[in-house]
Chain A
């Protein structure tokens, strides 16, 4: 044991131990939560055998409980909406910022990163005040939630797409221009296909951020119809919790993981190198 631990020619063993401990510690609660989604009983602490009743059972399951169903649908709806708005907008912004050289471009670049570091609670309160006081006509609810989510997910799109733009460089556009392509063809026939992996990756990141978001979405919600899965989990955790909550959390987690995995593989498949940007983004 001491030789395994103290071998000066081997890897630094205590780092291995710390890492292993950390991994167990971070996965354990999630693992337990997932495990109890399959509990054949109402308890979330005592194991009563394996069952899928909280996923597909006739009462109180993810598939049949109207509240759970509504939350899941609303979450996915917001996610898709956010992707459809934030991705094209972010790509356009990234292209614009990349081309813009001169006074003010540095400031704007830095400001694009602000939403990444702003505490979400600050962003949430600020947006709430905005919708209540500046644009009361819009009102709270789905529209406000979508706008709020787009506001903070946009930065991720810009950061990922700009990283790719920098590594692509200007040469392909110049080659297209040289061969006679007018500016919009340089964009459509060359730049966008080359950006595709980054665009897909950023869309996936936006989707994952959207369905996981709690603070902003909570602040901008109006009534029960605008409840999302994270909000539902928070609200019912102290009320009458059943393993159905674990089940819906498991479903959300799977959707998030599947989306990020898809993004990662698409990016790696098509972009070759330069996964750093998306890897960094995935770690957020």
Chain B
């Protein structure tokens, strides 16, 4: 199946700034691949290099076995949906969608058929004669999609295509985009800074930071098994713990934090010395004050944030650090007000020892973030 991309040692320098720093990524054909990261992490530059708008400083972009790094954009079999859609304002919807067909050998009749098909695919039949300015944001986004898909590319590049839409429309389009990708079976390369979007839509996510790939894997892998502090911190909410790793049993290690010790059974448990470990708020359970057992720490509720379906508790544990935890609003949590004494259970199999991030992940919060 066509649509396979390998980025090899891909680097882009702008004057003194290294935007993309020798990344290697494999994007399997037919998958929904997401480049996720904060602004300035190099994800958009990477996408623009795949599209051909930026020329790599060095490295290869292998598309279906051919290095296209030096091929101009109009000769690449990839198409882009731009963040601002970039619909041609002087052309109507049909002419926008038909724009690229001029460069594919097809008859007038076929051209008309394909435009109609593409507009049908994005549910915009009947809008042929409208001008882009007469469409809503969501409709413009669909036209941009149709304009790219009508050319039957092997790879579709999407640069934060949902960024300009309101929350509800965004949710709907997330589902539609994912369904469309599954239906067409072509490779989607999606750029976003929204971790929720990345987790819900992707087959595979590459988390980028400072021009490098921190971690790539399925959404579950990067969320549940973050390898670096940056990934743990960027995806979802996590509690970060600092401590000294010492040997434990059963392949686990023991994390010493002052007089307290926690067993950690996940991640880089072979590390020794000062390390960071993380645990997700939803994996911490809140128990009545004084409950005994392993991996339990006492603390005081400092803040209880009502979220509707749950409470987010900020618990200050002995030693001063704050851990965030979630308690479902199931009617039992009546006494979890500020100042209440509780015991937190941090199961060993939910405590994950992290490899240190590249220096680019500059500020590492000492505790919860």
- Which residues of A come within 8 Å of B, CB atoms? 171-172, 174-183, 189-190, 193-194, 196
Contact = CB atoms under 8 A, between A and B. Distances in A.
B104 A180 contact: yes
Given A174-B73, A194-B89, A180 B100 contact: yes
Contacts of A193: 88, 90
B73 A177 contact: yes
Contacts of A190: 88
Contacts of B82: 171, 174-175
Contact of B86 (A175, A180, A181): A175
B151 A179 contact: yes
Contacts of B86: 171-172, 174-175
Nearest to A181: B74
Contacts of A183: 74
Nearest to B87: A175
B74 A182 contact: yes
A178 B88 contact: no
Contacts of A196: 90
B90 A178 contact: no
Contacts of B72: 177
B99 A176 contact: yes
Given A177-B72, A179-B99, 11 more contacts: A171-B86, A174-B51, A175-B82, A176-B88, A177-B52, A178-B53, A178-B148, A181-B74, A181-B102, A194-B89, A194-B90
A175 B88 contact: yes
Contacts of A180: 74-75, 100, 102-104, 151
Contacts of A176: 74, 88, 99
Contact of B79 (A171, A179, A181): A179
Interface string B64-101: 00000000111100111010101111100000000110
A174 B53 contact: yes
Interface residues on B, range: 20 to 34
Contacts of A178: 51-53, 73-74, 78-80, 148
A168 to B, nearest CB: 10
A171 B53 CA distance: 10
B366 to A, nearest CB: 42
A49 to B, nearest CB: 53
Interface of B: 51-53, 72-75, 78-80, 82, 84, 86-90, 99-100, 102-104, 147-148, 151
Contacts of A194: 88-90
26 contacts: A171-B84, A172-B88, A174-B53, A174-B73, A175-B86, A175-B88, A176-B74, A176-B88, A177-B72, A177-B74, A178-B51, A178-B53, A178-B74, A178-B78, A178-B79, A178-B148, A179-B79, A179-B100, A179-B148, A180-B75, A180-B103, A181-B99, A181-B100, A182-B74, A194-B90, A196-B90
**A-B pairs with lowest CB-CB distance, top 10:** A179-B100, A180-B103, A175-B86, A177-B73, A171-B86, A193-B90, A177-B74, A178-B80, A180-B100, A180-B74
A58 B286 CA distance: 106
Contacts of B75: 180
Contacts of A181: 74, 99-100, 102-103
A181 B148 CA distance: 13
A196 B99 CA distance: 19
Contacts of A172: 86, 88
A126 to B, nearest CB: 39
A87 to B, nearest CB: 19
B361 to A, nearest CB: 31
Nearest to B95: A189
B147 A179 contact: yes
B17 to A, nearest CB: 15
A189 B74 contact: no
A236 to B, nearest CB: 48
B161 to A, nearest CB: 13
A103 to B, nearest CB: 13
A216 B245 CA distance: 85
A189 B88 CA distance: 10
B217 to A, nearest CB: 29
Contacts of B74: 176-183
Nearest to B77: A180
A189 B89 contact: no
A174 B74 CA distance: 9
A180 B101 CA distance: 8
A59 B99 CA distance: 60
A111 B100 CA distance: 39
Contacts of A182: 74
Contacts of B84: 171
B91 to A, nearest CB: 8
Nearest to A175: B86
B76 to A, nearest CB: 8
Contacts of B99: 176, 179, 181, 189
Nearest to A194: B90
A74 to B, nearest CB: 37
Contacts of A175: 80, 82, 86-88
A196 B103 CA distance: 24
Given A172-B86, A193-B90, A179 B51 contact: no
Residue among A171, A180, A193, A196 facing the most chain B CB atoms (10 A cut-off): A180
